[in-house]
Structures are given as C-alpha cells and as structure tokens.
Amino acid sequence: MIHTLSGKLAEKNDGYLVVEVGGIGFKVVTNTRTAASASAGEAAKLFTHLYVREDKIELYGFMDEGSLKLFELLISVSGIGPKSALAILDIDSSENIIAAIAGKRPDILTRASGVGQKTAERVVLELQSRIKIPSGTKRLTEAMDVNQEVEEALVGLGYGRAAARQAISKIGPEFKALEERLKQTLKNLGRRS
C-alpha cells in the first residue's frame, strides 16, 4: 500500500525512525543497519512495507529496495515475523544474506538474535528456489565467515556487538584476511573514540 516514504528524517531512535512528510510524522520500524545509515534532520527516502495484523499496524522501512524485498521474502517464511526478519537483515548486507541462503548456509542465519538452527534451515529451504542467486556466492559467504570471526574477536576485547558490526561494515573489500580486517576495524573503532 505504501511503497516509499520521502521526507525529512525528524527523529532517529533505537529500532525506528520518524519521517516527516507534509507535517505528518510517520514512525517507521527498521533494522540497526538502516538506522545507522540515516541522519536526523536530512532528507530521507525509505522503501516501506505496511504490516497489518489484527492487533497492530506497523510500517517497516529500508534505505534500499533490495532490503525491502528480502524483508518481504523473510516474513513469508513460516515462523519468521518482522522482528526475526529485521534481526536477519542486521547480520550483513542483503546481498550477503542472499548468498548465505543460496549457498545453503543456515549457520550464518543463526547469528541473528532469536533465530535457531531449525528456523534458519526452514528459511534456506523455503527461499532457496525463490531468490536470484548472485555470482560469487562462495566468496561472499567466506567473507561473512571472516567478518563473524572479527566480530567475535572484538566482542572478546570488550566492544559492543552493534559497534563491532558497524565498524566492520565500513571496511573495504580489499582487506580479505582475518588479520587485515581486524586491524582495519580496530582503526575504525579508534577513530570513533
């Protein structure tokens, strides 16, 4: 029903954004990655999904259409609601999550909060035939494995998981080895302090 929402980002909170359009503030529930890429006071365009149930109506939004499409695919899987879908979208980029599904890697999906092994296997089974398989799937899932190792190392050093994921997402693809990625992530975290 509401495919996009364009306006001024009036407010940025944990778990949602408020986009002001024509004097009306729309509360848009989103994942951590989308919220981190948004800046309050600036113009924003969100691709949205209106989630309607008996007891609630919520608007979910993302900065790119690929994330919206993946979100809609995920919530079509039995046992995956909007919260679980958002948690899966926080694991990595949409492209990498699709690569994990195409590569039959439910272990990657279990990294999402609240997603167990059986649920992850169901997602892979149900969505595998419905997604477009990207080229270089193996390379993408290997990169996700390295990023997970870097994240675990940073958490072990006392950094928060969300801060670690955000710093890892800013590292370019030219750094492939675990040591290189860890070093660059620590540099990014040092700059934020």
Spans of all domains in the chain: 4-62, 66-127, 138-192
In angstroms, rounded to a whole number, what is the distance separating the alpha carbons of residues 60 and 47? Answer: 8
Q: If phi over 0 gives left and psi between -120 and 50 gives alpha, with beta otherwise, what is residue 41? A: left
Q: What percent of the chain has pLDDT over 70?
A: 93
What is the model's pLDDT at position 80? 93
> At the fourth CATH level, which superfamily is domain 4-62?
Nucleic acid-binding proteins (2.40.50.140)
Pairing status of strand 16-21 against strand 43-52:
unpaired
> At the fourth CATH level, which superfamily is domain 66-127?
5' to 3' exonuclease, C-terminal subdomain (1.10.150.20)
Does position 20 have pLDDT exceeding 90, yes or no? Answer: yes
pLDDT in tens, 102-146: 888 898 899 898 899 999 999 999 998 888 765 555 566 677 778
| C-alpha pair distances (Å), 46 with each of 3, 15, 86, 102, 108 | 8, 14, 15, 26, 27
Q: Write out the DSSP string of 19-30.
A: EEETTEEEEEE-
What is the model's pLDDT at position 52? 93
What is the mean predicted confidence (pLDDT) over 76-84?
A: 93
